[in-house]
Amino acid sequence: MQGTSLARALVLGLLLVLAGPVWAKVGWAEKVKGNVSLEMIGEPPRPLLVGDAIEEKARLRTGADGEVVVHFVDEALLVIRPNSQIDVNYYRFTAGDHSSASAVRLLKGGLRFVTGLIGKLNREEVKIFTPMATIGVRGTDFDTLFLEVPRDDADAGLYTCVTEGGTVLTGENGESIEVAQGQTAFTTTADFVAKGLSKAREWGLIRPPPGLFQSGTFDGQIEELKREGLNRLQGKLTDQLPSEFRGLVPTDMLGSLFAKKKEAPKPASSRCGA
């Protein structure tokens, strides 16, 4: 038992050290399809290509045929849907228990976000800002859609659906609601109601209209990307361990560190958009 506790402490300590200092490059374009542009402060927009670096303050836009997977340095994954706009406000992956933090802002359209190492070790400091609410993570894989124009079966507003883990949705009035695996939450604003864009005056958990969350070109590859990320972290951890400690750390320690807690079986179709 003592050896296991020591190994776990070594893993946590080394993972924080592996973060290193603040990176200028906070991620890269893992997958790109169609019309996607990258804009940095003081620079004109340019087409985003696979492998291009993503930095703090970057703005990413997708056209009607555009999709992109951003792979962050802490192994978090951000899938940006068509007709969307995202700002990377900040992404600080640094040594220390409470120093790593990230914030991404959804301005238009939709996204899927999969928690990385920051969300595992310092989840209170991972935020997704949207026009109507702030989303906090709980070791999470979730989708969010900002619907600016109502559909026949859906009011205009913000929708968020959790595939794995959980989120906390905090509205403009400061009220919060926890969204668990398999659940969808909705919020809107008084302005949208006044303009007739939304009939709903209250917000909370709902049953999403069919087809509201659409899986994209790259969603089927996310699980493989998550596994590759864990393997990279495991490799870095093994390389950094002093030889006298390597026998104390099981080869699958990183996987067990991030293992999901036991929970009730989820429905087979709980994937947002499935």
**More confident position, 272 or 177:** 177
165 neighbors 141 (Cβ within 8 angstroms): yes
pLDDT level of residue 18 (50, 70, 90 thresholds): low
How far apart CA 180 and CA 161 sit, in angstroms, is 9
Closest by alpha carbon to 111, among 156, 163, 150, 174?
163
Q: Is residue 14 part of a domain?
A: no
Q: Which domain holds residue 173?
A: 21-221
pLDDT level of residue 252 (50, 70, 90 thresholds): low
User: Could you give the number of structural domains in the chain?
Assistant: 1
Q: Is residue 249 part of a domain?
A: no
How far apart CA 62 and CA 65 sit, in angstroms, is 7
Q: Is residue 2 part of a domain?
A: no
Asked if the model's pLDDT at residue 12 lies above 70, the reply is no
Closest by alpha carbon to 209, among 147, 130, 129?
147
Asked if the model's pLDDT at residue 228 lies above 60, the reply is yes
**Longest C-alpha distance within the chain, in Å?**
67
Q: Would the CA dihedral through 8, 119, 222, 240 be positive or negative?
A: negative
The encoded tokens of residue 90 equal 């900040």
pLDDT tens string 97-140: 568 899 999 999 999 999 988 888 888 999 999 999 999 998 89
CATH number of domain containing 50: 2.60.120.1440
Q: Is residue 113 part of a domain?
A: yes
Asked if the model's pLDDT at residue 71 lies above 80, the reply is yes
Q: Is residue 161 part of a domain?
A: yes
Q: Is residue 27 part of a domain?
A: yes
Whole-prediction pTM value? 0.82
**Three-class SS state of 188:** coil
Q: Is residue 146 part of a domain?
A: yes
104 neighbors 65 (Cβ within 8 angstroms): no
pLDDT level of residue 35 (50, 70, 90 thresholds): very high
Helix H or strand E segment including 222: helix 222-240
Taking each helix axis as running N to C, give the angle between helix 222-240 and helix 2-19, from 0 to 180 degrees, rounded to the nearest 10: 100
pLDDT tens string 135-158: 999 889 999 999 999 999 999 999
